[in-house]
Structure 1
Amino acid sequence: MKEIVSMMRIFYVNYVLVTIGIITSKITFLVLILAYIWLGNTTSTEMIFYVLSLFHQLTTALGVMLPVNMGKVAQFRAAFIRLNKILQAEELEKIDEEKCTGNPHIEAKAASVKIDGKEVLKDVTFEINFGLTIVSGLVGAGKSSLLKFILRDYPMTNGRLNIAGSISYASQEPWLFPSSIKQNILFGEAYDKARYNEVLKVCALEYDLSLLDNGDETIVADRGQNLSKGQQSRINLARAVYRKCDIYLLDDSLTALDRHVQEYIFNECVQKFLKNKVVVLVSQNSKQIDKADYVIMMDQGMIVSAGKPEEIDKRKLNGIKALKNDDIDDEVVKKEVLETEQQFTKKKVYQEKKKEGKVDLEVYKKYFRYGGGFLVFALIICLYILAQVFESVADKLLAKWIDLQQKVLDMQSNSTINATVFEDTASLKDNTFGMYTTLTIMKSVMGLVKYYALLRFCRSASVKIHNAMSSCVVNAEMKFFDNHFIGNILNRFSYDLNNIDESLPFVFPILISVMFTCMGSAIVVATVNWVLLIPCSAFFAVLVAMRMGYIPTSRSLKRLEAATRSPLVGHINSSLEGITTVRAFKAQAILKDEFDKHQDLYTSALFTLRVTMTAFGFFMDFVCTIFTILIISRFLFFEHDISAGNVGLVLNQVFMLTDHVQWAIRQWAQLENHMTSVERALEYTVIKQESITGREPKNWPKDGAIMYNNVSLYYENTKSPVVRNVTFQIKPRERIGIVGRTGAGKSSIISTLFRLYDCEGRIDIDHVDIKEVSLKYLRSKIAIIPQDPILFSGTIRENIDPYKTYPDSRIWETISKVKIKGIIPNLDMTIQDNGSNFSAGQKQLICLARAVIGKCKIVVLDEATANMDPFTDKMLHAVIEEVFSDCTILTIAHRLQYIMDCDKVIVMDNGELVECDNPKDLLQNQSSLFYKMCKQSKRD
C-alpha cells in the first residue's frame, strides 16, 4: 500500500511540475523583457520574436520534458527498489539431482530447519528406503515441513541430508493451473498412452473424464474451481504418479477423498502401481499405517518415534485409533466410480470477448458522470476558454506593443514630430505593455486553476470507477467467478485502472488545452489576415483525415495489448501458487518458457502499437513542415502590407499552431486508445449482482428449523440439474449428517442454503422463505467452517473478529475453546499470505474460531476436519458439541463415524436425495446406500 501511495505522489508531483514549468517559462520571458527595458535598452521586432521563439522551446524543455522525465526517473527508482528486494531475496541452494546408481533412499542426520526465526524441524534423523513410509502426527506436527525439507524447499540450519534418486511430489492442497486436465497431469512429461491410461485408472479418474464433453481436454479453471475437491486431489496425485521417478512424496493426498475411494487408490496406486518405488505418504489413517513398511511419528517438528508399524510406541499416537474396515471386495470398489456435479466449459484459457469498432459514446458519458457530471465539466471548459482568451489577447497586445515601440523609435529620430503626439504614443505603448503584463499573470494563475480542476475531475472519475468495479466484483453472482479467470480480473484492476489513473489525467488536460490554443492561434492569425485561415483549415483537415485513418488500427492494437496481458498475469499468479510443486518437478524451465511466450505475445502487441504511433507522428511532422514552408513563403515572395509586429505574430502563431495541432491530433488518438481501458473497466461495473434486498426479521432464526421443498439447482452450461427435487425437514437443534460420494451434490446443497446460486423450489428457515430475507442478513445468521480454510491477510484478531465486534477477552476465550492458544502468542500476530505460516489443520481451527465467536443458530461444517488427524478431529467434534449445543448443525463428512450420533443422515447420490433418516434405522436396511458406505468405514 505504501508503494501505491508513493507512486500516486510521484504522479501528482509530476503533474504539478509540468504546470509550474510552463507558467515559469512565460513569467521568465516577461521578467526578462521588463529587465531589458528597465536597464535602458531599446527593443526591436527581430529581438522580441527571436527571444519569444527561444522561450517556446524552453517551455517544452522546462515545462514538459524535464518534469515528465523527472517523474520517469522517480518511477524507475521505485521499480528498481521493488525489484531489488526480489533479486536480493534469500535463494535456495542449487543442488543437482543425484543419479541413482544403487538403491534410491533418503537419509537425514541431525537436521534442523528455521523459517523466519521459528524452528519448524528440530534435530530430525531418519533413513527411508524402498517401500511405503507413512509420516503421521497431530495437526501442526511438521509433517508437510518434513516433505518440503526433503524437497530442499526449506533450507537447513544444520545437519545433513542425502538423497539418491529422482523425486516426484503431490502437495497437500491440490495445485492445478488453467489448462486442460491432460496438461495438468502430464506437466511437461512426454505422453505415454499406456502409462497415462493406467494412471487414470489407479487414480479413479476414468469415469469422471467419461462424463465430460471434452474428456481430459476440459479446461481447468483457476485453482480447479470447476472441479470438486476430490477431483482436484486425484488430478494432483495423478500428476505426481505419472512422472517416472524413484521417490514419491505424497503430502496427505488421500484425505479429501471418500473412505472407499481412499481405500481403492491406496491399494491400486500406492501399494501396487508404486510398489517398487520409495513412497513417503503423509496420513493419519491407522489402517494405512498398519500396512506401511516404515512409520515416522512427528510432534512439534520432531520425530518422536520411527520404525515398523508394530515397533511404534502406541502412546505416541496420542489417541489415533485404528479405523477398522470390513473385508472389501476390490472388484466392487473398482466399480463404485465417482460422479461429478460441476459444470465444464469449452472456452479457451484467458479468452476475452474483445470489442471492435470505435468506443461507444456511452463510455464517454459514463466517464463524465463518474467525474462529477456534465455541468462540472462544462465549468472546467469555461476555465480553459477564459485562460485561452487571456493568452490570445496577451499575444495580440504583445504584437501591438512591438509596433508601438517601433513607432516610438521612429518618432525619436524624427524631430518634426509633435511632442504631444509622441507623448500619447509613448503612453499608449506603456499602457499596452502594462495590460500585457497583467494578462500574462492572470493567464498563469488561470493555468494553475484549470489544470487543478480537470485533474480533480479525472481523479474523481478514476476513484469512482474503481469503487464501482470493486463493489460489483465482490457482489457478483458466483457464475461470474466460474467463468472468469483470475488473470482476466487482475488485468482489469491493474493495467486498465493504471491507464485510467495515470494516463487519462494527462491526456485530457493536454488535449483540451491544445485544442483551445489552436483555436486561439487561428483567431489571432485571422485578425491579421483572414485569408491565412484557408491554408490553416486545409492543414487541419489533412491531419484529421490522417487521424481517421490511423485510429481504427491504433484502437484495435490497444485492445489487443490489453487482452494479451491477461495470460501474462494469470500465468505468473498460478505459477507462484504452486511453486513447491514446480520446484519438485524441476519444471521451472518449462514454466519460464510458457511465461516467455505470453510475454512475447504481449510485447509484440505493445511494440506494434508503439511503432504505429511513431509512424503516425512522423507523417504528421512531415505535413506540419510543408505547412510552415508555405506560410513563410507567403511573406518572403509575395507583397503584403502587414506590419512587422503582425508578421512576427503570425509566424509565431503558425509555429505554435503546427506543434499544437499535431500534438492535439496525437492526444485525440491517445484519448480514444485510453478510453478502451475505461470501456473494459466499465464492463466490470455492469456484472449481474446478487439480489441483496429483502427484509431482516428480528430475532431470526430463533430455533434453527430448516425445510427444503422441491429444490433444484442448475449451473450454467449444464444439461441436467446438479441438485434435483430435494425435499426434507430439519427440526430445531437437530444434528444432520450429509454424506455421499465425491460429486454427489453435498456441497451444492450447502450453496443453496447460502443462496450462492439461484435455485428452484423453496427453502425455509423458521418458516421464513430465505429468498425474502436480505442476503447479507441471511449469511450473517449462518456460520460455516469450509472445506478449504480461508484466512485473510492481517492479524489473528482481524481474522477471528473481522467486524471488530467483540472484546479481546471474548476472542481469547474462543481461541481457548478451539485449542489453538498454544500457537498464537498474541492477537496482533500477522497472518502471512493465505496463512502460509500455519498448517492446513491449524488454518481450519482458526476458521472454527471465527464461526464459534458469532454464536449463530445454524452451523455448517463442510468436511471441516478433512485435514486433521483423528485425535484432533475427535477433539474438535467434542468442542463443536459443546459450543454449538443449542444450534442446528449440518455436517458434510467423509469420516462416517462422526455422524453416527446425528439425529438424521441425508444421503446424496447424483444430485438426488436418496435417503433421509436416523442413521441407526438406515443401518438396519442392508440394501441402503448408507449401509454400504458404512460397511467400508465403520465406527469404532
Structure 2
Amino acid sequence: MFLKGICGSHPIIFGFVYVVSYFACEITSAVQVWFLGVWARQYENHHSSEVAIWYYLTGYTLFQVLAVMLFTISYTMHLFGTLRAARQIHDALIASTLSTTLRWLDKTPASRIITRCTQDIATVDGPIAEYSRWFFENTGLMIIKLGAVVVMSPIFLVPGAAVAVLGALCGQFYMKAQLSVKREMSNAHAPVLGHFGAAVAGLRSIRAFGVQDAFRKESYKRIDRYSRAGLTLYDLNRWISVRVDALGAIFTASLAVYLVYGCTYDASSIGFSLNMAVTFGGLIIWWVRVLNEFEISGNSLERIHQYLVIEHEPQAAKSGIPPAYWPASGSLTVEKLSARYSEDGPRVLHEISFKIESGERVGIVGRTGSGKSSLTLALLRCILTEGNVYYDGIPTSSLNLDALRSNITIIPQIPELLSGTLRQNLDPFSQYDDSVLNDALRAAGLFSVQSETDEGRITLDSQIASGGSNLHVIDDILTNPGDLTWTPCLATSAIDYQTDVVIQTSLRRELNKDVTVLTIAHRLQTIMDADKIIVLDAGRIVEFGKPSDLLMNKNGLLAALVEESADKEHLHALANGAESSQTT
C-alpha cells in the first residue's frame, strides 16, 4: 500500500529513475574516494611541482557536484513519493471510515477511530517515510561498499556475503527478542505512573494511616519490574552490537592481511579497499536497527489497512441517479418494511406498511424500544432493510444514498453543531449575507425564547460549543428550505416545553403545504394535532389513523398513553382541534 503510493501511477518509470539515481550517487561517492587515492599516489611518483593540481581538483569537484545532483534527484523523488503515499492513505482511510455502515460505527470505539486517523497517520507521515528511505539507503550503501571491495579483491565476495548473512541472522534474533522486551516495558510503565499518581493524590490519607512504607515498597517493586525490562533491552542492544561489530572487524582484518601480504596493490588502493570494508562492517548494525524500527512502524500501516477493508454502504452508480423532477411531491409509501441492525441480528421492524400523502403531518409515537428510531434509520437506509419504500413513486432501494438523503432533512435528537461562531455553523461556505442568516434565526424561533435584555443573548457572532445545544433547528431551516421533504424529528425530547412549542410553531409556519412531516416525538402534545398518528409497539404498527379516531378506541395504545398523561384534557382538545381544522 505504501510502496504503491510512493511509485504513483507510473511505478516502473518512478522506480527505475529513483533506483538508478541513488545507486549512481553512491557509485559516484565511492569513485570520489578512489579518485582521492589516485591524486595522493601522484605525489609518490612525481615531484609536487609536476602534479596537475587543477586537474585533480576539478575532477574531484565535478564528482562532488554530480553526487549532490544525483542525491537531490533521488531524495526529491522519495520526498514527493512519500507525500503522495501519505496523502493517498489518509484519503483512503477517511473515505473508508465515512462510508462505512452505521452498525460498524456503533460497535467500534470512537477513540480507536481517532487513533487511526491521528497517531497512525502521523506515523505514516513521519517515521515510516524516514525509515523507508534509511532502509533503502543503507541497503544500497552496503551493496556498493561490498561491490567496491569485491572489485579490488574478488576472493572476498563469499566472505563478504557470509558476513552480511550472519549479521542479518543476528538481527532476526534481536528483533524477535526486543519486541517482547518492549512489550514488557510498556506493560510495566503504566503501573509505575499510576501508582505514583495515586500516591500523590492520596498523600494525606497515606500519612494519616501511616502506610508510607507499604507504598514505598510497592513503588520500588513496580520500578524494579520496569528497570529489569529496561536493562534487558539495553543488554540486547549490547548483544547485537558486539556480534555485528565483531563480524565487521574480522572481515576488515582479514581483508587487510590479504591486501598487505597477499597482493601487490599500492597504498592508495589498499586504503580505498579498507575504507570500503570498514564502512560495510559498520553499516550492518545500522541496517538491522533501521529494519527493526521500520517493521515496528509498519504496524500502523497494518492497522490502517484493517480499516480500509471494513463493511461499506453501497457506492453511487449512474443507475441510481433520480430524474431531474424528483421529488415532485412528498408522498411516502411503505410496503412490508422489515429492518435489522446486522445480518445475524434480530428484526427490529416487522413488515410495516403505511401510506402518507404529500403535505400530511404524521406523528409517530410509541413506548421506549418500540422502533421509532429504527423506522427513521430504515427510511434513510442506514440499517439493513427488507421490503419496499416508495418516495414520490420511486423505490428508495434504487436510488443512490446521497440522492436519497440529500432530499430528506432531519432535526436530530442530539445536535451536531461544531465549535465556532453561530455564523460559521449556519453558513460554513459564506454563501449568505447577515439578513438571510437572521431570518433563519427568526424563523427557527430563537428570538422567541430570549428577550432583548438577555445578558447572554445569542447573535451570529456568539461562540457555540461543540454539540450546539438546541440551535440545530436553525441550520435545517436555512440550508434545506426546498429539499425539506419529510422531517423525522426526535429533537424536542431534551428541551423545555416553551422551546418545544416554538419549534413546532416554526415548522408549521415555515414549511410549505406540500411538505410531508414525520414527527417522532416523546411528548404527546407535539403530535396530537397531526393529520395522522402511527403507533408502534415492538417494531410493529398497532394503530394508524387520525388522532381523534384513535382516541375513540379506549382499548388502543394511544388512548392508554393519553390516559397516563397528566394533561390528557389538553391532548384531547388538540386532537379534536386537529379534526375540526381538517374538516374545515
Whether TM-score is above 0.5 comes out as yes
Matched-pair contact (CA < 8 Å) for 1:904–1:918: yes
Aligned equivalents of 2:255, 2:90: Cα separation in 1: 53
2:530 counterpart of 1:895: no
Corresponding residue for residue 104 of structure 2: 480
Give the 3-state SS of the residue equivalent to 2:337 in structure 1: strand
Matched-pair contact (CA < 8 Å) for 1:372–1:460: no
Corresponding residue for residue 677 of structure 1: 300
Matches within 5 A, 1:273-284: none
Matches within 5 A, 1:622-661: 622-632=243-253, 635=256, 639-640=261-262, 641-661=264-284
Which deviates more from structure 2 when the two are superposed, residues 798-807 or residues 447-456? 798-807
Give the 3-state SS of the residue equivalent to 1:833 in structure 2: coil
Corresponding residue for residue 705 of structure 1: 331
Matches within 5 A, 1:384-403: 384-403=22-41
Aligned equivalents of 2:248, 2:396: Cα separation in 1: 73
Matched-pair contact (CA < 8 Å) for 2:365–2:521: yes
Matched-pair contact (CA < 8 Å) for 2:338–2:385: yes
Q: How many angstroms does 1:625 deviate by?
A: 3.1
Q: How many angstroms does 1:819 deviate by?
A: 2.6
Matched-pair contact (CA < 8 Å) for 1:722–1:748: yes
Match of 1:877 among 489, 497, 504: 504
Aligned equivalents of 1:885, 1:724: Cα separation in 2: 32
Matched-pair contact (CA < 8 Å) for 1:397–1:433: no
2:240 counterpart of 1:619: yes
Q: How many angstroms does 1:368 deviate by?
A: 4.0
Q: How many angstroms does 1:870 deviate by?
A: 1.7
Aligned equivalents of 2:230, 2:13: Cα separation in 1: 35
Match of 2:466 among 826, 833, 839: 833
Match of 2:144 among 520, 538, 563: 520
Q: How many angstroms does 1:380 deviate by?
A: 1.4
2:361 counterpart of 1:740: no
Cα 1:373–1:676 shift into 2, 3 Å: farther
Matches within 5 A, 1:690-729: 690-693=313-316, 694-716=320-342, 719-729=345-355
Aligned equivalents of 1:491, 1:683: Cα separation in 2: 13
Write out per-residue CA displacement over residues 153-189 of structure 1, whole angstroms, 9 at most, x where no aligned residue: xxxxxxxxxxxxxxxxxxxxxxxxxxxxxxxxxxxxx
Match of 1:666 among 289, 299, 309: 289
Match of 1:917 among 545, 550, 554: 545
Give the 3-state SS of the residue equivalent to 1:517 in structure 2: helix
Aligned equivalents of 2:9, 2:519: Cα separation in 1: 50
Corresponding residue for residue 817 of structure 1: 443
Cα 1:430–1:406 shift into 2, 3 Å: farther
Matches within 5 A, 1:545-560: 545-552=169-176
Write out per-residue CA displacement over residues 779-831 of structure 1, whole angstroms, 9 at most, x where no aligned residue: 12111111112211233123223454443322210101223245665434332
Aligned equivalents of 2:270, 2:57: Cα separation in 1: 19
Cα 1:390–1:649 shift into 2, 3 Å: same
Corresponding residue for residue 15 of structure 2: 377
2:52 counterpart of 1:431: no
2:110 counterpart of 1:496: no
Give the 3-state SS of the residue equivalent to 1:392 in structure 2: helix
Corresponding residue for residue 411 of structure 2: 785
Write out per-residue CA displacement over residues 631-678 of structure 1, whole angstroms, 9 at most, x where no aligned residue: 336535962322111221122212211222221222223222222211
Matched-pair contact (CA < 8 Å) for 1:554–1:609: no
Matched-pair contact (CA < 8 Å) for 2:123–2:297: yes
Q: How many residues align?
A: 519
TM-score after normalising by structure 2 = 0.81
Q: How many angstroms does 1:372 deviate by?
A: 6.8
Corresponding residue for residue 561 of structure 2: 933
Which deviates more from structure 2 when the two are superposed, residues 791-800 or residues 616-625? 616-625
Matched-pair contact (CA < 8 Å) for 1:521–1:657: yes
Aligned equivalents of 2:230, 2:418: Cα separation in 1: 40
Matched-pair contact (CA < 8 Å) for 1:557–1:605: no
Aligned equivalents of 1:391, 1:614: Cα separation in 2: 36
Cα 1:487–1:606 shift into 2, 3 Å: farther
Aligned equivalents of 2:119, 2:185: Cα separation in 1: 10
Aligned equivalents of 2:228, 2:561: Cα separation in 1: 61
Matched-pair contact (CA < 8 Å) for 1:739–1:905: yes
Write out per-residue CA displacement over residues 545-592 of structure 1, whole angstroms, 9 at most, x where no aligned residue: 123334455678889999x9xx99xxxxxxxxxxxxxxxxxxxxxxxx
Cα 1:634–1:465 shift into 2, 3 Å: closer
Aligned equivalents of 2:569, 2:475: Cα separation in 1: 29
Matched-pair contact (CA < 8 Å) for 1:922–1:930: yes
Matched-pair contact (CA < 8 Å) for 2:156–2:255: no
Flag the structure with higher helix content.
Answer: 2
Match for 1:684: what amino acid? Y
Match of 2:495 among 868, 874, 877: 868
Query: CA RMSD, aligned part only?
Result: 3.1
Q: How many angstroms does 1:483 deviate by?
A: 1.7
Match of 2:425 among 799, 807, 823: 799
Match for 2:261: what amino acid? E
Corresponding residue for residue 407 of structure 1: 45
Q: How many angstroms does 1:430 deviate by?
A: 5.7
Q: How many angstroms does 1:610 deviate by?
A: 10
Aligned equivalents of 1:871, 1:674: Cα separation in 2: 56
Match for 1:752: what amino acid? A
Cα 1:369–1:435 shift into 2, 3 Å: closer
Cα 1:606–1:395 shift into 2, 3 Å: farther
Match for 1:408: what amino acid? H
Write out per-residue CA displacement over residues 208-254 of structure 1, whole angstroms, 9 at most, x where no aligned residue: xxxxxxxxxxxxxxxxxxxxxxxxxxxxxxxxxxxxxxxxxxxxxxx
Aligned equivalents of 1:670, 1:459: Cα separation in 2: 20
Q: How many angstroms does 1:621 deviate by?
A: 4.2
2:69 counterpart of 1:445: yes
Match of 2:475 among 845, 850, 855: 850
Give the 3-state SS of the residue equivalent to 1:827 in structure 2: coil
Q: How many angstroms does 1:465 deviate by?
A: 0.7
Aligned equivalents of 1:559, 1:794: Cα separation in 2: 41
Give the 3-state SS of the residue equivalent to 1:743 in structure 2: coil
Corresponding residue for residue 908 of structure 1: 536
Matched-pair contact (CA < 8 Å) for 1:899–1:905: yes
Cα 1:520–1:530 shift into 2, 3 Å: same
TM-score after normalising by structure 1 = 0.52
Give the 3-state SS of the residue equivalent to 1:782 in structure 2: coil
Aligned equivalents of 2:363, 2:313: Cα separation in 1: 29
Give the 3-state SS of the residue equivalent to 1:698 in structure 2: coil
Matched-pair contact (CA < 8 Å) for 1:543–1:620: no
Match for 1:437: what amino acid? T
Match for 1:929: what amino acid? L
Cα 1:670–1:754 shift into 2, 3 Å: same
Matched-pair contact (CA < 8 Å) for 1:371–1:458: no
Aligned equivalents of 2:359, 2:183: Cα separation in 1: 56
2:81 counterpart of 1:463: no
For structure 1, the residue ranges without an aligned partner over 5 or more in a row are 1-362, 413-421, 569-600, 836-842
Write out per-residue CA displacement over residues 454-503 of structure 1, whole angstroms, 9 at most, x where no aligned residue: 11111111111111111111121111101210121112122211211110
Give the 3-state SS of the residue equivalent to 2:308 in structure 1: coil
Corresponding residue for residue 253 of structure 1: none
Matches within 5 A, 1:49-128: none
Matched-pair contact (CA < 8 Å) for 2:149–2:273: yes
Which deviates more from structure 2 when the two are superposed, residues 879-888 or residues 732-741? 879-888
Aligned equivalents of 2:274, 2:383: Cα separation in 1: 69
